[in-house]
Homo-oligomer: A and B are copies of this chain.
Amino acid sequence: MKSVNLKKLAEELNLSVATVSRALNDRYDISQATKDRVRELANKLNYEPNPYASSLRRQRSKTIGVVIPEVANHFFSLAINGIEEVARNNNYHVLVYLTHEDYQQEASIVRLLAGGRVDGVLLSVASTSHDLGHLDMLRERGIPMVFFDRVYDDMATAKVTTDDYDSGYRATRHLLEVGCRSIAHLTLSPSLSISRRRMQGYIDALRDAGVPFDESLVLQGGTNRTQDIDAIEQLLRQRRIDGIFASIESLAMCSYEACHNLGLRIPQDVKVIGFSNLEIASLLDPPLTTITQPAYSIGKEAARLLFQAITKNRPISLGHSQELKSELVIRASTSLEQSQARAAALAAYCVRRPAHYTENALASDPAPLQGF
């Protein structure tokens, strides 16, 4: 029941506590013979140093905090995987906190962490977070932080993100290329960095194709599943929509449900593309065209940056930020239906666009795209 500590080892070996400590830490001023004796007994008694005493004395917790909106989301699961791996390789421990997309919770968690519980923080901001005042404490206390995926633009620290603007642009352009002209955009809170960038890509792609941007085709969701489905159904009933671009995984899934409920066929009636990290996107009915983020790498990279700051004791700056590339994986949910004359006609237009993106490999004879 009682745990073995340095004092016990010291008594047993007729040594001082200090000597035992130094022996275990392999200090130069302890003889090899003593080190061997100490280690042998430590192993025999299953000695484990008390982490809290050690942290208190060394002013170093060997722990990092990971703050994410939710874990039941493949992106964050994969990211945690990468983070945990890097942490363990550095003999660090990982505290996980969920904000449930709530600013208040995010703030109170950060406040806890700023109390010295962790040596560094990895954060992906909640969708309802509107300002970054709660992060000042971390800076004041000198606790390094790295954002991943969802960031605050005006915070001077490293961020690991993906090419969200490009991804939004490419996703939208892909829908345009397969004939969509009335494209709904499903997004999270517009206060979110990723939402803004993806939406800007969407808007610019529309503009470049000469399709007017219609604000009423932008739907904000992501909180409640059934609520999201309802809202999408309503949008699909009100407007003649032939394409959906979902900014997060769950909204793509809700789109499937909504289309199913309304008897709309994918991709014949509505084409769907969504951000998603599900490996089983290809097993859906129909297989979902996705923007897939390198979630695991994002986690690893963010953790790597954080550990550089922690171990080198060098302040982390904006300059260390990284932007990784997402991948557009085209599947049946946005495929052209040969059987449909209209779609075919559209295809004729679409494949004529210049093909400087890889996903345009199917394009044959480039020519300018005209408005529809």
Contacts and interface: CB of A to CB of B under 8 A. Distances in A.
Interface of A: 1, 3, 46, 48-53, 55-56, 61, 63, 70-74, 77-78, 80-81, 84-85, 88, 93-98, 111-112, 114-117, 137, 140-142, 225, 253, 256-257, 260, 278-280, 283-287
- The complex is assembled from copies of this chain, and their number is 2
A279 B61 CA distance: 38
B93 A117 contact: yes
B50 A116 contact: yes
B48 A52 contact: no
A239 B3 CA distance: 57
Contacts of A97: 84, 88, 93-94
B48 A56 contact: no
Given A52-B56, A93-B117, A253-B279, 15 more contacts: A48-B115, A50-B56, A50-B116, A51-B117, A71-B80, A72-B74, A72-B81, A84-B98, A93-B95, A93-B112, A94-B95, A225-B279, A256-B280, A284-B285, A285-B285
Nearest to A63: B95
A367 to B, nearest CB: 35
A248 to B, nearest CB: 14
B142 A1 contact: yes
A301 B257 CA distance: 31
Contacts of A74: 72
Given A50-B56, A116-B52, A96 B94 contact: yes
Contact of A48 (B53, B70, B111): B111
A145 to B, nearest CB: 15
B78 A48 contact: no
Contact of A56 (B56, B93, B257): B56
Contact of A55 (B52, B81, B85, B112): B52
